Chain A
């Protein structure tokens, strides 16, 4: 399929002639690359012969970010687990234990209350 080209008018260059002229310039340009660019193109073409040392990884940062995230999650999880397993404050535990032992002693010895209500206890207090 060809594209539409305007018919040439008198004194006006036709589309075909114009295209042909620019194409000729383009061909000259492609054949007139500097030795430096020609050498670089040849060098890059030769580089295509080299086997890739390993498959190209397009997004290495994603793997690194994933590894860091997993490590962070593991550290936080281990820390929280260790915190949960620790015993409570020792002072508070001791106080609770003493009170419990005192109540238990009173519960187990009702004679103490009987003695406190007796005359012996009143005499002892008056002396």
Chain B
């Protein structure tokens, strides 16, 4: 039986818990209690007239109510549409209209017709509604999910049950989550993959702790999880904090890491954006193995390093049911036995055709290669290739990675204003003093390892790239076009910049 069908087939075994760790309060329930509560919510939704295929929106911070609504939707074959309050600043009524929602639950004000307070679902009394016996077929879609594009309105797609099943099964084969594990989730539950770990707890029998971005640092060490589901930006910031703490207190990296993550970590998960190799090394050497993977919203998890097969620098071996095809331009294409989707639900004209190709193939736009042992290496975006006037193609990401290996540089974007020279726009590291000489030294160090055509002529010192100032995406990826536009004046002015 598939993972999702196991989940909806009946109550889980007792003995594992769902905890919600917020600042100021942690609550915890046995998964059997969560199952019972979700049944009440399912009955309530049926009472509202929700039927299979109807869309239930949730615009709320992570909470028990979020989990209950999602489980309830699965139990009546409705579709969950998760909206991150940090990204959707339109009214609930607009979301209902735009995405065809039967009802939206929100922790925002105000409520309206078909827009209800999320808090109401916790207080429901036991329902006498007969819940249907449901079966999810591979092609059914339990979730409407949204991509975090770097510009323009969010695209959406309906994710297939088959793709969720195959991803969960593959992850379980790699990491064997089970009794004794507690998976810590602090990224928004509006991201479908974050809800996987709730499904995993029910089916494979382990604890799961739901927190928030704001509460993560405060609750990690008291929760004492065994697994943390993070993103590169989180680990970058944490590493800077750990290094500063170690410098201040004289404690070793493993000692300060335990202070933040607790003493039970089995491994750390990272994905959704390229990770800094130095940061991966830092955590591994501090006794916290960290495993990078690769996937898009449109493909789900494609490849993943794990304890049984890990190659530094790669994003791991390709998962069963997924096939990586490298085209003649070096672009990674993914064919899935159970594709996530074959088109976007909401997108600009032409965007579906550009991403989804015939035969269940997704053109990722990322450049990469497979090594002889099947490990996938991602080298950057196809549109991040600079063509110099001599015809030489330069892939900028490896150059940027080398710059980022310098302690004073947190992030950077390499650009070429004239097709003759490369210029680095540099975001300084918060914890290091930055001046002209330190940047120049970093440039010299980097250039020494680069080929003739890859030499960086000068660096422009930018403000630190952050999500808040619009220079990082919500996935902590540098927003190349915005960065280039903001610093174009400094990049092209021959009098400006720091030279090696």
* A, B: real partners: no
